């Protein structure tokens, strides 16, 4: 059974957090600086991560809310960085460690001596710029600190896009480079896309489309609004519904 990836959010709302982005997100950490801060058994893992991805990382301060969320992180989960009500980076989790020495070396510590030791390594973060309001149907409208997208939202993403991977690629990664694909949004939809759209309509998901006004699309003796069927079918190729 394949586990569905989680989607986590970390914010960088103040100047200190923004500075940490340049420490370990917008550019990689020098492995010579941190490798010896890991247990001998983990140093080979960190070395392999560095060879494959570079050392990009983020972390959370231990606490009542952060600990159980960090415990749920697994390799393959997605991390989205948010500030200014905008998704700024997207990356995938490679591994996680509870490492106080690493956190203090890379990010320092707070005034009361705490540090972001619940850390995780990431694939190279991709810089994006997408307003949180644009994805509020599938994610959340706003965030504070370190959070996890709820199971109901992830299930909706799986049902609508086929997988979390497809959602990330079409709604976050692709939308940051829309100009690279000059084809019409409807050119690449398939019969399967249309059938999937009809299934979504059957489940009550209309994505803002209205019912039929002049004529219907007939499929298996059921009637559907054609504009909605085509517009929703474009989600896979366009990244969102397309209003003709």
125-164: per-residue pLDDT in tens?
999 999 999 999 999 988 988 999 999 999 999 999 989 9
Per residue in 166-192, pLDDT (tens digit) is: 999 888 987 555 444 455 556 677 888
Shared domain check, 19 and 122: yes
Assess if residue 218 is contained within a domain: yes
Residues 170 and 196 occupy one common structural domain: no
The residue from 176, 196, 222 where one domain ends is 176
The whole domain housing 122 covers 7-176
In three-state secondary structure terms, 72 is: helix
Domain-ending residue, one of 158, 176, 194 = 176
Q: Let me know whether 103 and 200 are in one domain.
A: no
**End-of-domain residue from the set 154, 176, 198:** 176
pLDDT over 60 (residue 244): no
Contacts of 133-137 with CB under 8 Å at 24 or more apart are 133/85, 135/87, 135/171, 135/172, 137/207
Would 1 be classed as within a structural domain?
Answer: no
Tell me: the pLDDT tens digits for 104-133? 999 999 989 999 999 999 999 999 999 999
- Domain containing residue 133: CATH number: 3.10.590
Q: Based on the domain organization, do 43 and 145 belong to the same domain?
A: yes
Domain assignment present for 243: no
Task: Answer yes or no: are the C-beta atoms of 242 and 234 closer than 8 Å.
Answer: yes
Burial class (CB in 10 A: 0-12, 13-18, 19+), 131: exposed
Domain shared by 49 and 135, yes or no: yes
Based on the domain organization, do 44 and 95 belong to the same domain? yes
Same domain, 60 and 157: yes
Residues 34 and 128 in one domain: yes
Supply the DSSP symbol for 178: G
**Structural domain total, the chain:** 2
């Amino acid at each position: 059974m394949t586990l569905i990836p989680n989607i986590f959010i970390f914010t960088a709302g103040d100047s200190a957090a923004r500075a940490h982005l340049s420490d370990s997100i917008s550019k990689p950490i020098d492995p010579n600086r941190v490798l010896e801060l890991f247990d001998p058994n983990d140093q080979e893992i960190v070395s392999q991560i560095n060879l494959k991805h570079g050392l990009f990382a983020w972390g959370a301060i231990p606490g009542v809310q952060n600990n159980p969320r960090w415990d749920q992180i697994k390799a393959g989960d997605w991390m989205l960085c948010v500030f200014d009500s905008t998704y700024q980076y997207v990356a995938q989790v490679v591994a996680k460690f509870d490492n106080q020495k690493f956190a203090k070396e890379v990010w320092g510590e707070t005034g009361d001596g705490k540090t972001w030791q619940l850390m995780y390594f990431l694939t190279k973060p991709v810089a994006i710029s997408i307003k949180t309001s644009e994805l509020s149907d599938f994610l959340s409208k706003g965030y504070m600190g370190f959070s996890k997208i709820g199971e109901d939202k992830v299930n909706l993403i799986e049902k609508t896009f086929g997988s979390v991977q497809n959602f990330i690629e079409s709604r976050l990664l692709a939308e940051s480079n829309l100009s690279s694909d000059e084809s019409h949004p409807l050119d690449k939809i398939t019969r399967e896309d249309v059938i999937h759209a009809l299934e979504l309509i059957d489940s009550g998901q209309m994505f803002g489309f209205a019912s039929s006004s002049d004529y219907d699309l007939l499929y298996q003796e059921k009637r559907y609004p054609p504009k909605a069927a085509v517009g929703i079918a474009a989600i896979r190729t366009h990244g969102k519904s397309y209003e003709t």
